[in-house]
A and B are shown apart, each in its own frame.
Chain A
């Protein structure tokens, strides 16, 4: 009952403060741009070659190129937007003082945090679903057939990766009332995951592994290994649990 009220408020707030709209628009734009870039990039390069006299040989554009663009865009620009959206979700309320309005009422702090985390996940996944639909439609239109199931699996695995980043940023937002520190924790976590992912022995056990598998899923060649998925879920859930453990003792 209380969780439902809190969740409804969070979702309404995301909508009314345009956070959900911004996220949705950015994701959909990159969902459209991914096949468009794959389709028209060779033409753009060709036009540039003619002017400068440099010859670049490019293979004909394919669905796989669009999928590469999609996963790259979502795991880079998408990740940055997600961190920017999530960094103030608790810290801004603490800084402004609105948190005392809610928590002086019979609201468990765990429910307060859970509603915020769920709303972030729902909004991010909804934006990602719209982006995947846009990507699927424009890829078919510009490049050729892309099975909807493959596209959905690609988006879902990318979504799990983004959810891990959400968890880290959410923890940062709970630890402090400073937006700058929350952002630092979010971006720091993002960089750390990316850097550790470049170590071959660690890579299969980190969320970054999901991005390669997302790409394979988009191309209809998914071979699932659980290391990346498990680590992403552990990071997301662990960060929320840690946030709750800290927040339940926080003085307001």
Chain B
């Protein structure tokens, strides 16, 4: 396989007047775990349906492992495994039957398929329920079965639409752990859409951010953090409500503070000028009647970077670097 696992060329999809995906140009490196991040309604699922040939593009093209994806083209579908956002299966089949059926649809001979199905049941932790009907499965079990069926043909590319967003904490933990195991084991390219930043932080090496159908940025996770991260000064204080409110207002008026967040007794100052903030912030706090309980200096999180990129953060200055 070439270095590029997924490529979109000016991929556009309109639904009437709504542009769900707008001139998307994207390349996903082979072997990466690619987080496709965006708020609800950003165009993530539409992009994935275009990539899997379930939707026609209005214009533009998409390629997986060099093969162009089209609704009527069957050959390209050998090259990826797909887990939809809400995986639905034939409830009358058992998990083992479903994986066998999926494998046969790929034309895998039974002598190869049989051990492969057992291996996948094991990988997904479904061996104890392999002979149970899928109709009785919990959402988490269906998600793991969905991952297993997406892997049945050993695809070079795995496309996952919100693989963990609807799961409870345990289910989410299991699904993400499975994705991490895959990455470590197979060197597969994983394209994963999500709106949960913690999932991206945990699993993805590269992140694209999309909003209102437009690609806003693509970067390695660390680079994204570097590019958009700002110093954050966290102060936990105690005192009268009016005094804390006054301190909050005072900090917001400081020229070196981009933005100040307050959550109960915690104030987070996003500093535009780190040097000035380091110099003056402790003095501003001690000058107020509140008592300083804790003081920390760190960098903003991926979530803060995401909010800056999608323009949902009331920062005073624009984000550094091109978007």
Contacts and interface: CB of A to CB of B under 8 A. Distances in A.
Interface stretch (A45-53, A171-179, A244-252): A244-252
A106 B107 contact: yes
B89 A109 contact: no
B308 interface: no
A17 B105 CA distance: 21
Given A105-B105, A251-B54, A100 B84 contact: yes
B77 A17 contact: no
Nearest to B74: A106
A104 B52 contact: yes
B74 A97 contact: no
B295 interface: no
Interface in A106-125: 106-109
B141 to A, nearest CB: 16
Contact of B54 (A9, A16, A103): A103
Contacts of A248: 71-72
A108 B75 CA distance: 10
Given A5-B101, A100-B84, A107-B105, A251 B78 contact: no
A251 B56 contact: yes
Interface string A1-45: 110011001000100110000000000000000000000000000
B82 interface: yes
B134 to A, nearest CB: 10
Size bracket, chain A contacts: 20 to 34
Given A106-B107, A109-B72, A251-B56, A17 B88 contact: no
User: Which residue of B72, B87, B90 has the most chain A CB atoms within 10 A of its CB atom?
Assistant: B90
A78 B55 CA distance: 38
Contacts of A1: 107
A100 B107 CA distance: 18
Interface of B, secondary structure class, is loop
A121 B88 CA distance: 27
Interface string B100-117: 011011110000000000
A16 to B, nearest CB: 4
Nearest to B13: A251
B86 interface: yes
A98 interface: yes
B231 interface: no
A108 B74 contact: yes
Nearest to A251: B55
A98 B92 contact: no
Given A106-B74, A248-B72, A249-B71, A101 B89 contact: yes
From A1, A13, A100, residue with most partner B Cβ within 10 Å: A100
A16 B74 CA distance: 29
A9 B55 contact: no
Interface in A215-252: 248-249, 251-252
A96 interface: yes
Contacts of B53: 104
15 contacts: A5-B105, A9-B101, A97-B84, A98-B90, A100-B84, A102-B105, A104-B53, A104-B54, A105-B106, A106-B75, A107-B74, A251-B71, A252-B49, A252-B54, A252-B55
Given A5-B105, A17-B92, A107-B105, 14 more contacts: A2-B105, A13-B92, A100-B84, A101-B84, A101-B102, A101-B149, A102-B105, A105-B102, A107-B74, A109-B72, A251-B49, A251-B56, A252-B54, A252-B55
Interface of B: 49, 52-56, 71-72, 74-75, 77-78, 82, 84, 86-90, 92, 101-102, 104-107, 149
Interface of A: 1-2, 5-6, 9, 13, 16-17, 96-98, 100-109, 248-249, 251-252
